[in-house]
Structure 1
Amino acid sequence: MASAEVDIEEVTSPGGVEAWLVNEPSIPFVALEIRFKGGASLDAPGKRGSINLMTAILEEGAGDMDARAWAAARDSLAASFDFDVHNDALSISAKFLTENMDEAAELLRLAMEDPRFDQDALDRVRAQVQSIIRSNGNDPDKIAGDTFDRLAWGNHPYGTDLNGTAESVAALTREDMLDAKARVMARDRLYVGAVGDIDAERLAALLDKLFSGLPETGAEQAEHMDYSLQGGLTVVPFDTPQSVVSFGQQGIKRDDPDFFPAFVMMEILGGSGFNSRLMEEVREKRGLTYGIYAYLAPMDYGEIIGGGVASANGRVAQVIEVVRDEWAKLAEEGVSAEELERAKKYLTGAYPLRFDGNGRIANILVGLQIEGLGKDYITNRNSFVEAVTAEDVKRVAKRLIDPDALHFVVVGAPEGLEETAGN
């Protein structure tokens, strides 16, 4: 199957809540994807980690039910609710049987509108987050990513871990949880996708039931930040036999006219499987690593081209040299017709496989809304990929790919590497 066919209906509730719906009555259950734009980037000043902690406590009791009672009610309905947050959005993924829709929706409404934030739950989840923070402090992969983010984004929320620090999390109170919820869970940044055994009329009523009690507006969104990290090398000493590397440079916005040529280009350079140039040159030809990748990251408030690799301390300098060489080769020469055809075949063939369940489709619907791509994007997406030519990729590579702008963060005990400017 070369394309995905999904019949999307736009629904607006009497109270003005908008959603995208795919009515699929063949299986009697519904998947809802709920997203609040802004996510952990909306942490209040000095309260880093508050929205992450708040999100983790949403299912720890609501209304007159403590954590155990709320969980028992959820399980008795065979419903599932997954609360998650990243720097661009807070998401809630809900699944429930059609026959239990009203009861499940009421349980979810309580969690969003009237969470208890009991002190024992706050302390228990806080301890879990602090354990994660301690673990991350000894994880070379996390250290590399966090160091790169700090250098690239500075004081922007992207520059710090959304978990917060041990100190910031220790100081958070119940009042901070209430404030964090109000900052992010508001109707002016709400996006909803619904897939399953539900029609437009019933969805409209459900939307008002779920969201009418939320505040109309939340905190002001974070500002967009231009990536400004210069090319160079940063070494973070760490006692380990293998160095971990995060690298990157300026990226491209999702709505840039050159996005699809850049997307296909990055699949060729550092994408999936063993066919990418970086895997071929770094692993297959030289045996310097088990895996290496590079990708576009058009985030809501900034854009990068990022990548990562790990290699023995004595070989990591060679890895970096090869990456820089491949960056330069792409900028100068573009890609071959064979590489282009292989990447397009993979990208168009893999796309329909994303639509293999109600929950995944609901997630896609919300993503399309947030990115402003329109209902016809699903039908047209593969044609955008197919339209990319070798000339397009060569032009975009010359515009975007800059080996001198690459900055590498190396965590380990690398041999033959010295820090250079850019940090």
Structure 2
Amino acid sequence: PKVKREQIKYFTASDKKETVITPEDTQQAYIYFGAPFNYSYKEKDQYKAKIAEYLLGGAGFGSRLMEEIRVKRGLTYGAYAMLRRTKYASYLSGYLQTKLSTQDEAKKLVQKVVDDFVSKGITAEELEAAKKFLVGSEPLRTETLSQRLNRAYNEFYYGRPLGFSKEQLKKIETVTLDEMNDFITSHKELSELSFSIVTKK
């Protein structure tokens, strides 16, 4: 060892459901949002968080946020959300931009989409679509040497056995709708959204 090892400080995301407005000379409203996610990177069922993240806001046009905010209402070009699971924090974070006139509507809609997601869970069709994409696109995530090295590094960094990702992929193929909905509806804290909005002065 050549360096002094430091204990990583853990940060807990705010559950205060605050809204912070930052006035700027802008033509659009930039909406950032986040919430706690009481889930550790050490958990063995990371594949469930991966599916939940994909369907809530990580799937582009296959996600709830994109479907409700862009496709159905045309309020934005894109709406995204991620479930971050790191050594220093675990939280939901997301982003969208919209017209100044639809800022409040978009904010309320984000809250509603997340509330519905954690209260009702997902459908069988959504789960099947997520499985097909996550399993089917796997070769693209391990195509190059650098991708494979990066995956091996991450497995080491997070204290997981080599091959952990492949095992998780097998579990994605076999997870049931009930198992997924039990997982999603157990994380009510995701509804404790805070917003930071950059908008017109």
Structure 1 length-normalised TM: 0.45
Cα RMSD for the two superposed structures: 1.8
Task: Tell me: CA distance 1:401–1:373, structure 2 relative to 1, closer, same or farther (3 Å).
Answer: same
2:149 to 341, 362, 376: 362
SS of the residue aligned with 2:160? coil
Equivalent residue letter for 2:139: P
CA distance in 2, matches of 1:223, 1:346: 35
Contact preservation (8 Å) 2:29, 2:103 = yes
Contact preservation (8 Å) 1:243, 1:312 = yes
Q: 1:259 aligns to what?
A: 46
Does residue 249 of structure 1 match 2:26? no
* CA-CA distance at 1:274 after TM superposition: 0.8
2:94 to 307, 314, 318: 307
Does residue 274 of structure 1 match 2:56? no
2:9 to 209, 220, 223: 223
Deviations 1:303-353 (A, max 9, x none): 111111111111111111111111111122110000000011111112221
Which aligned pairs between 1:19-418 and structure 2 lie closer than 5 A?
187=1, 215=2, 217-251=3-37, 252-402=39-189, 404-413=191-200
Contact preservation (8 Å) 1:328, 1:402 = no
Task: Tell me: CA distance 1:268–1:368, structure 2 relative to 1, closer, same or farther (3 Å).
Answer: same
Count of equivalent residues? 200
Contact preservation (8 Å) 2:48, 2:180 = yes
Equivalent residue letter for 2:16: Q
SS of the residue aligned with 1:315? helix
CA distance in 2, matches of 1:342, 1:327: 19
Overall identity of the aligned pairs, in %: 29
* CA-CA distance at 1:222 after TM superposition: 2.9
Deviations 1:136-172 (A, max 9, x none): xxxxxxxxxxxxxxxxxxxxxxxxxxxxxxxxxxxxx
Q: 1:209 aligns to what?
A: none
Contact preservation (8 Å) 1:327, 1:402 = no
Contact preservation (8 Å) 1:233, 1:408 = yes
* CA-CA distance at 1:378 after TM superposition: 4.0
Deviations 1:183-209 (A, max 9, x none): xxxx3xxxxxxxxxxxxxxxxxxxxxx
* Larger mean Cα displacement after TM superposition, 383-392 or 307-316: 383-392
Name which structure has the greater RCO, CA cutoff 8 Å, separation 6+: 2
* CA-CA distance at 1:265 after TM superposition: 1.3
Task: Tell me: CA distance 1:406–1:338, structure 2 relative to 1, closer, same or farther (3 Å).
Answer: same
CA distance in 2, matches of 1:254, 1:287: 35
CA distance in 2, matches of 1:327, 1:271: 13
Equivalent residue letter for 2:21: V
Task: Tell me: CA distance 1:403–1:363, structure 2 relative to 1, closer, same or farther (3 Å).
Answer: closer
Contact preservation (8 Å) 1:324, 1:403 = no
Equivalent residue letter for 1:243: A
Contact preservation (8 Å) 1:243, 1:412 = yes
* Larger mean Cα displacement after TM superposition, 230-239 or 390-399: 390-399
Equivalent residue letter for 2:64: R
CA distance in 2, matches of 1:338, 1:404: 23
Deviations 1:74-132 (A, max 9, x none): xxxxxxxxxxxxxxxxxxxxxxxxxxxxxxxxxxxxxxxxxxxxxxxxxxxxxxxxxxx
Structure 2 length-normalised TM: 0.92
CA distance in 1, matches of 2:179, 2:93: 21
CA distance in 2, matches of 1:233, 1:320: 10
* CA-CA distance at 1:402 after TM superposition: 3.7
